[in-house]
Structure 1
Amino acid sequence: MKKYSICHICSYYETPIFCDLVANQKEFTNSRVFYYQYYGHSFFNGDAENVDRCPCYNYIDRFFFFVKQNKAIKNYKRIYVNYKFDLNFSHSLFTNGYVAYTIKKEWGTPYIVTIQNTDLNIFFKYIVFLRKLGVEILRNASSIIISSKSYEETLLKKYIPSKYHNEIQEKIHIVPYGIDNFYSSHKNVNRKEMDINIRILSVGRINRNKNQLLICKATKQLINQGYPIHVDIVGPCVQPYLLKKIQKYDFVSYFDYMSKEQLIEKYREATIFVLTSKTETFGLVYAEALSQGLPIIYTKGEGFDKQFPEGVVGFHTRLNTNDLVCAIKKVINSYNIIQNQCVHASIKYDWDRINSFYKEIYQDSLS
């Protein structure tokens, strides 16, 4: 089997989805990871032999795009001067994609680029002077990977000039992230029917973006309507003032950390999984929940929206209390039908399936 020589350009490598992707492609790739960050960064997940940790800019440089990126490019060229990669794989459009774009211009190495939440909701949305650059990075990419149809629609509708629509759209591949093999090898195929006492589970950092307070407000409204509901919230606290507000609700139990073994039991105990992030590239916890037969509620227009038709594994919600209440009721009213479809749907996030797409993308990008 041909092995592709790939450099993953990833300044966010501490996020497990990226190191999982690299680890699950060892069979058909020889990979190095250019993991660059500011001086003093902890470089979590950076101990593997194929990871090149590179502290190369000051913390304040983060606010000066070209200053920071030019330092990263200089170090990329220093580290890989004697390498000949088939492809660079940049794991974001602006921050990592600019490195790959520059290396292609100087060394001729083709590249793949991934669109992330921050690319759409920060760079394209607010940093207007970089929009033209973002389009140029996309036009020069061999392939463009987006994890959801909703993000593809947002990209093309809001930020790509109409004259480039066809050129860019024909390069786009919708490829989700894969779940940890622990969950895919422990799928819950014997889930019980819904209990009279409903348990809502939410997993994610406690911060404004993850929006757990909205879940609390919607649950309170449902309890007032006679629904017996308890909420379990799992995740490290980033903004303590929000946790204080959450813990004022007597129907909430909070857990700051759980191992995979503990968390899978929480998925199995729960009735519905709810995560109403304001912005979300993908949301791997939705896919984990599905692997345990757990119906889900997700944010309309964000990364998990349109992964499946509405009502197959759950429902989307707008970010207001009444809409979330309605979404939870929809799940409850069609619970047994939805529940029976969740585990089978989670096959979409098994790495064997996802890697079949990547093999085709790598081959197409080099042909």
Structure 2
Amino acid sequence: MKSKITHIVFLTPGFAESKTDSTTIPALQVYLKSLKATLPNTKMSLLAFQFPFSNNTYHWNGIDVIPLNGKNKHLKKLLIWRKAMRTLLKLHIENPITVIHSFWIGECSLIGSKFSKKHNIKHISTVMGQDANLGNKYVKALMKTNVEIVTLSENHKATLFNNYKLQSKIIPWELDTTSFPVIQESTIDILGVGSLNEVKNYSLFVKIIADLAKTNPNLKVEIIGEGTMRAALEKQIETLELNAIINLTGKLPRQDVLKKMAQAKVLLHTSTYESFGFVFLEALHSGLQVVSFNVGIAEPLPEWKICTSNKEMLGTLKSFFNEPINDKKRVYLTEKNNCIQSYLKLYNE
């Protein structure tokens, strides 16, 4: 597709602080790398409102990243918004902006809407997570604009519509499969990957492992991630005498996460909500069986068991260990290049 766009500006609360930062919004990193490779001659700038904690502009895979250094401080918000508007104006004067693409319905979509309306610029906003849930005060600012809203899955689209009656176009993320290690013989029985917070529901994860361990005492389980629930999970693991079974690895570089996946049998994902679930794509492409609730991009497959209850989740895992799992194979869930081509169509409309 021939592109009419000459300068895209991305607005996001946070972004990778360097080329070596692989853990800050991996899906967005994969998308932007692919987009830049597809449009090598298109100017791309990115404003990071809160993170990195820096004032220094830097180059990331051909994209100019401008940190606004908000540091997640509420008292600085108005200052950061004014700074964002001034920065956008400066960028627009130097090289006219043809598309503004904001991520999350929040401060970025708010500023994107204001600036795009004032300067008659196309604005696309991708809903990224729990911003589709009730109680989002920023949604109102989008309701009377010409913004094109994108959600990440059927579940995500339904949540946004049911809560706010906002229509959206679904564009799923896709993987860069070149970074995946070779699938290996499994040395990890069950793997959990995600932030240790209430939504990811790791207290249920630990309870299920405790029940499963009664009939499978030699289980090897790892949970990759860091977060506010870590201390509570450590206490729960100790109380249930699972220290020899469950290992909390903490936060790992993405490549190390993929290595762990290559060594595992099952991804257990107890999250109560996902907008998409990039970890599902990674796990399936790493040859894992996936066990989850109906969240995000959940799709019933021979390799993906979608459960409706805690009991069903435990029963599914028991069946995996009562019967040998077939040889691991890669499963690619999303259509290759669909993400890039779908966004290019929106940019050029």
Pairwise TM-score range, normalised by the shorter structure: 0.7 to 0.9
| Distance in 1 of aligned mates of 2:278 and 2:53 | 24
Pairing 1:136–2:125 present: no
Query: Residues 95, 62 of structure 1: CA spacing in aligned structure 2 closer, same or farther, 3 A cutoff?
Result: farther
Residue in 2 aligned with 1:109?
Answer: 121
Shift of residue 107 of structure 1?
0.5
Residue in 2 aligned with 1:159?
Answer: 164
Pairing 1:87–2:92 present: no
Q: Kindly provide the CA deviation profile for residues 62-115 of structure 1, in whole angstroms up to 9, marking residues without a partner as x.
A: 686x66534422332234322222211112223221222112211001111101
Shift of residue 202 of structure 1?
0.8
Residue in 2 aligned with 1:215?
Answer: 205
Residue in 2 aligned with 1:126?
Answer: 135
Specify the code of the residue in structure 1 equivalent to 2:313.
L
Shift of residue 331 of structure 1?
5.5
Query: Residues 260, 104 of structure 1: CA spacing in aligned structure 2 closer, same or farther, 3 A cutoff?
Result: closer
| Distance in 2 of aligned mates of 1:152 and 1:93 | 13
| SS at 1:24 equivalent | helix
Q: Which runs of 5+ in 2 are unaligned?
A: 17-24
Specify the code of the residue in structure 2 equivalent to 1:50.
I
* Higher helix residue share: 1
Shift of residue 153 of structure 1?
0.8
| Distance in 2 of aligned mates of 1:27 and 1:230 | 40
Query: Residues 135, 178 of structure 1: CA spacing in aligned structure 2 closer, same or farther, 3 A cutoff?
Result: same
| Distance in 2 of aligned mates of 1:47 and 1:69 | 22
In the alignment, is the contact (CA less than 8 A) between 1:13 and 1:45 conserved in 2?
no
Specify the code of the residue in structure 2 equivalent to 1:114.
T
| Distance in 1 of aligned mates of 2:176 and 2:123 | 26
Residue in 2 aligned with 1:256?
Answer: 250
Q: Which of 112-121 and 172-181 deviates more?
A: 172-181
Q: Which of 77-86 and 225-234 deviates more?
A: 225-234
Residue in 2 aligned with 1:360?
Answer: 345
Q: Kindly provide the CA deviation profile for residues 116-148 of structure 1, in whole angstroms up to 9, marking residues without a partner as x.
A: 213123xxx124x544324334xx12x322111
Q: Which of 144-153 and 72-81 deviates more?
A: 72-81
Pairing 1:304–2:297 present: yes
| Distance in 2 of aligned mates of 1:212 and 1:45 | 37
Residue in 1 aligned with 2:21?
Answer: none
In the alignment, is the contact (CA less than 8 A) between 1:69 and 1:98 conserved in 2?
no
Q: Kindly provide the CA deviation profile for residues 128-187 of structure 1, in whole angstroms up to 9, marking residues without a partner as x.
A: x544324334xx12x322111101011112211xxxx6xx3xxx3322222244445x56
Query: Residues 353, 240 of structure 1: CA spacing in aligned structure 2 closer, same or farther, 3 A cutoff?
Result: same
| Distance in 2 of aligned mates of 1:118 and 1:70 | 26
In the alignment, is the contact (CA less than 8 A) between 2:56 and 2:66 conserved in 1?
no
Query: Residues 244, 216 of structure 1: CA spacing in aligned structure 2 closer, same or farther, 3 A cutoff?
Result: same
| Distance in 1 of aligned mates of 2:323 and 2:310 | 20
Specify the code of the residue in structure 1 equivalent to 2:284.
L
Specify the code of the residue in structure 2 equivalent to 1:294.
L
Q: Kindly provide the CA deviation profile for residues 165-215 of structure 1, in whole angstroms up to 9, marking residues without a partner as x.
A: 6xx3xxx3322222244445x564xx77xx8x9811112233333322211
Q: Which of 354-363 and 19-28 deviates more?
A: 354-363
In the alignment, is the contact (CA less than 8 A) between 2:68 and 2:80 conserved in 1?
no
Query: Residues 258, 59 of structure 1: CA spacing in aligned structure 2 closer, same or farther, 3 A cutoff?
Result: closer
Residue in 1 aligned with 2:278?
Answer: 284
Shift of residue 333 of structure 1?
7.5
Query: Residues 245, 45 of structure 1: CA spacing in aligned structure 2 closer, same or farther, 3 A cutoff?
Result: farther
Pairing 1:8–2:10 present: yes
Residue in 2 aligned with 1:52?
Answer: 65
Pairing 1:75–2:87 present: yes
Q: Kindly provide the CA deviation profile for residues 281-302 of structure 1, in whole angstroms up to 9, marking residues without a partner as x.
A: 32222211111111112343x3
| SS at 2:28 equivalent | helix
Specify the code of the residue in structure 1 equivalent to 2:291.
I
| Distance in 2 of aligned mates of 1:264 and 1:52 | 26
With normalisation by structure 1, the TM-score equals: 0.76
Matches of residues 201-280 of structure 1 in structure 2 within 5 Å?
A: 201-225=191-215, 229-245=219-235, 247-248=237-238, 249-250=242-243, 251-259=245-253, 262-280=256-274
Specify the code of the residue in structure 2 equivalent to 1:179.
L
Q: Which runs of 5+ in 1 are unaligned?
A: none
- The share of aligned pairs that are identical, in percent, is 17
| SS at 1:279 equivalent | coil
1:61 to 58, 74, 77: 74
Query: Residues 86, 239 of structure 1: CA spacing in aligned structure 2 closer, same or farther, 3 A cutoff?
Result: same
| Distance in 2 of aligned mates of 1:313 and 1:357 | 27
Matches of residues 169-188 of structure 1 in structure 2 within 5 Å?
A: 172-183=168-179, 186=181, 188=183
In the alignment, is the contact (CA less than 8 A) between 2:46 and 2:63 conserved in 1?
no
Query: Residues 118, 236 of structure 1: CA spacing in aligned structure 2 closer, same or farther, 3 A cutoff?
Result: same
| SS at 1:201 equivalent | strand
In the alignment, is the contact (CA less than 8 A) between 1:147 and 1:281 conserved in 2?
yes
In the alignment, is the contact (CA less than 8 A) between 1:287 and 1:349 conserved in 2?
no
Query: Residues 104, 242 of structure 1: CA spacing in aligned structure 2 closer, same or farther, 3 A cutoff?
Result: same
